Structure 1
């Protein structure tokens, strides 16, 4: 066996010997026959056809997959909607109980977003992070370091690189 045959990677299959010739066990240079060329062209055409079929299957299956994902996300929100409707049905009841019910529904909605991969962030006292925060105002806060989030006006959802919405915050300005 030649050095070339010994160094051949396992996934490299040798070309089949043309009919009527014995495998000699050693590498020999021979011109490509018309049968070899025809076989390679046939394999190439089959690979192109397989690729084309894969593209068509992907194009056919993708809308179905997207619709299934939309249905899963919408189904996650159905309990929240049901609880909001229950709160509205009891709107004439004790106002304190209504407020508690709406807070419970809000907590449920926050949990749905967290389960979908978008956790809520509304922390104050942390340094401003442009990947998590959107500054809507700068305020004087003498007891805090400059660039610190002092108020969250609207909470954000998500994580750096995967934001649904950044938190709208007020940040302390540099003291002079």
Structure 2
């Protein structure tokens, strides 16, 4: 291609064309880099919305707290019930050991009564019955000692105040020499086993003299 010597602008324009093309290429590369940088950055949620979601309690939180309180109360009640059952069981076992002989003692008391009646009926002044009387008294004493070793206590409340928990009044008799409500005679002795009444004492109680 030949240049026109008469047109000096032709060479200048041709020389400037590569520069313009290079600038355009540089601008395109910069735009592509910015696009890739924007794509690589993660999207950020609005801070105001996130803070509102964290700050607001769940609508079911009150119900859950009430359920937790109810479960705690039930747990405490169940624990208290278990403690009561344990104490009741221990008390039942203790009572079973303490009062296991109650029926046996009750069946044995008539034997004691008969021995006491026998010693009272025999004439202690008679030499013929002296050995028999001594034998009965020793038998009665040994039997009472055995009962005492098993915490059996005899009630012979003559002269004491009447106690409805341990005594059963068979009669009330005016007695000027005794205080009212005092036991003046014992028909049948009573017995306790470890403090529990096995048989009440049958007694006669003094009554206040009529005015």
* TM-score interval, smaller chain: 0.3 to 0.5
TM-score where L is the length of structure 2: 0.38
The higher radius of gyration belongs to 2
| Greater helix content | 2
